[in-house]
Amino acid sequence: MHPRPFAISDPDRPAIILPATDQTVTYGQLEAAANRGAHLLRALGCVRGDGIALLMDNEAAIFELSWAAQRIGLYLTSISTKLSAADIAYILRDSGARILVASDRLASLAQAALAEADGVQGYLVDAEVGPLKNWSASVARYPDTPVPNESAGTDMLYSSGTTGRPKGVKPPLPEGPLDAQTALEGMGTALYGMGQDCIYLSTSPLYHAAPLRWAMTIHRLGGTVVVMDRFDAEDSLALIERYRITHATWVPTHFVRLLKLPEDVRARYDHGSLKAVIHAAAPCPVPVKQAMIDWWGPIVHEYYSGTECCGITALSSPEWLSRPGSVGRAVLGRVRIVGENGQEVAPGDTGDVFFSDGPTFTYHNDPDKTAAAHNDRGWATLGDVGHLDADGYLFLTDRRSFMIISGGVNIYPQEIENCLITHPQVADVAVIGVPDEEMGENILAIVQPAESVDGDAALTEELTRFVRTALGGVKTPRAFVFRADLPREPTGKLMKRRLIDEYRAPAATMRG
């Protein structure tokens, strides 16, 4: 499907609702804006295979530009607004973007980035500052009818860069018509019942891969996208009630924050309109997911994939309840678990998680990273470790790069984090390995205490006892550090690499 038929048959149908500004964009308005944008991009010299970049907050223009690029065969790169000017300039150069469009409030950041990215034309959505032109004024001069010779484009998004620079994931351009079904569209209809009556809550920044892709999938199906400008746990409950939300996507951190709301706040809002809630981005601790199912019912779905989208696994609540901790069976590609000798291992044995028979991708301008993400049979990996059960359900252990080797024993931080986050005195936690002369590495837990809880020796003793009872001595952190907050992306994704760099540095101190 595609938003155009809905713009023709029902132009007043809401396509986008922005509660923070009380703005609604209809399908007719979205179609007109996308067509005008396509005409302007063509006038600026963009041809199929070229790229444009967006540096935007969660506003309507991000969809108008995304659909403009999609219908003239362009690669769309949406860039995190949290990056430095140097990193934005790197992405502009690396992606080969010809044009950058930024939110008005980001004018200074955009100018600084463009100063290091020669040849990129800059625009602001509704303003003109220095060399940055006004996109809205420029596009208004063009017709709202389709451009000739339309062809399908796609995104070229950058990973969050847990190791080194962000990596640009470049899939092949689609060869089919504009309305050819996408993998997410197939998942949305078959697994989650998405369709024209879908009212979808987008909880995360649209510059990330999954939020933008899911929102555009809803537009393909004719539904309405309700966009939060930023995530707030109670606000999300209020929006579910106000707009009668039927579908929403989340990350486990969102669930943790929802569950830590006071009981009377959680009970204040009606969530009876929900038909399917979908989470991804990181493994969800078993007690957290169980609590969400107990609260919202067996409508909690999960999938595992990545920006690379080389494969996808998925499972429903009933499947998860019979296999707690699983992230599902393959619905795109085929899961392969590979041991250290490069051969597939038996069900139940742990190894590197690969996908075969899925979509292809490359890391743009980085053949070494592309090669490192594939084995000699062409199977692709996202860098995770896990195992399959006898029925083909995947269980993730952790990311390979985060594994701690202490006294010759492989320890995966995720298991310890999943344990600690369930403690009522813990608001957030990360576990990393730090150098140790005797053991090679030791386990360090970096903890954000819950509100009004002191990070002191008593809390260290309590958490040590808690982990030892649950997981045993080998997996118990040898040290705890307490801090006011942990670095997370606005999606909730933990920036663990930043913590590793900080606490593995020679001058790092560990107090707790």
The answer on pLDDT for 282 being more than 80 is no
Q: Which of 115-124, 397-406, 465-474, 493-502 shows the lowest mean pLDDT across its residues? A: 397-406
- Which pLDDT belongs to residue 126? 96
Structural tokens at position 412: 């995966």
| Helix-strand-coil split of the chain, %, nearest 5 | 30, 25, 40
The answer on pLDDT for 66 being more than 90 is yes
Superfamily grouping for domain 333-400: Luciferase; Domain 3 (2.30.38.10)
Structural tokens at position 238: 């209020």
Residues 343-356, mean pLDDT to the nearest whole number: 94
Q: Which of 45-54, 346-355, 359-368 shows the lowest mean pLDDT across its residues? A: 359-368
Residues 257-268, mean pLDDT to the nearest whole number: 94
pLDDT (tens digit per residue) in 80-138: 898 889 889 999 999 999 999 999 999 999 999 999 999 999 999 999 999 999 999 99
Identity of the residue numbered 498? R
- Which pLDDT belongs to residue 415? 86
> What is the Cα–Cα distance from 62 to 78, expressed in whole angstroms?
9
Class of domain 25-171: alpha beta
**Contact partners, residue 333, CB within 8 Å, separation at least 6:** 310, 311, 312, 355, 356, 357, 358, 359
Cross-strand pairs, 386: 351, 396
> What is the Cα–Cα distance from 206 to 62, expressed in whole angstroms?
8
- Which pLDDT belongs to residue 67? 98
Element (DSSP H or E) covering residue 448: strand 440-449
Asked if 310 and 316 count as a contact pair (C-beta separation under 8 A), the reply is no
- Which pLDDT belongs to residue 511? 44
- Which pLDDT belongs to residue 163? 46
CATH number assigned to the domain covering 403-503: 3.30.300.30
> What is the Cα–Cα distance from 354 to 381, expressed in whole angstroms?
4
- Which pLDDT belongs to residue 302? 95
- Which pLDDT belongs to residue 164? 57
> What is the Cα–Cα distance from 307 to 384, expressed in whole angstroms?
14
> What is the Cα–Cα distance from 354 to 376, expressed in whole angstroms?
12
Residues 344-354, mean pLDDT to the nearest whole number: 94
- Kindly state the greatest CA–CA separation across the chain: 71
pLDDT (tens digit per residue) in 410-464: 788 888 998 999 999 999 999 988 887 777 788 999 999 999 899 999 999 999 9
The answer on pLDDT for 253 being more than 90 is no
**Contact partners, residue 498, CB within 8 Å, separation at least 6:** 487
Residues 477-486, mean pLDDT to the nearest whole number: 93
- Which pLDDT belongs to residue 166? 75
Range(s) within the chain of domains with CATH label 3.30.300.30: 403-503
Q: What percent of the chain has pLDDT over 70?
A: 96
Range(s) within the chain of domains with CATH label 2.30.38.10: 333-400
> What is the Cα–Cα distance from 254 to 365, expressed in whole angstroms?
34
Q: Does domain 181-330 have CATH number 3.40.50.300?
A: no
**Residue whose tokens read 């993400």:** 373
The answer on pLDDT for 33 being more than 90 is yes
> What is the Cα–Cα distance from 329 to 313, expressed in whole angstroms?
5
DSSP conformation class of 106: G
- Which pLDDT belongs to residue 179? 93
**Contact partners, residue 264, CB within 8 Å, separation at least 6:** none
Range(s) within the chain of domains with CATH label 3.40.50.980: 25-171
Q: Which of 71, 16, 2, 28 is nearest to 220 (CA)?
A: 2
**Residue whose tokens read 């555009």:** 216
Q: What percent of the chain has pLDDT over 90?
A: 72
- Which pLDDT belongs to residue 95? 93
Name the pTM for this structure: 0.82
Q: What is the CA radius of gyration of the chain?
A: 23
How far, CA to CA in Å, does 91 sit from each of 57, 159, 188, 255, 413? 17, 11, 30, 32, 31
Range(s) within the chain of domains with CATH label 3.40.50.12780: 181-330
Q: Which of 273, 282, 228 is nearest to 255 (CA)?
A: 282
Q: Which of 99-108, 204-213, 435-444, 502-511 shows the lowest mean pLDDT across its residues? A: 502-511
More confident: 441 or 224: 224
Identity of the residue numbered 334? R
* pLDDT averaged over every residue in the chain: 91
- Which pLDDT belongs to residue 506? 58
Bridge-based pairing state of the strands 351-356 and 334-338: antiparallel
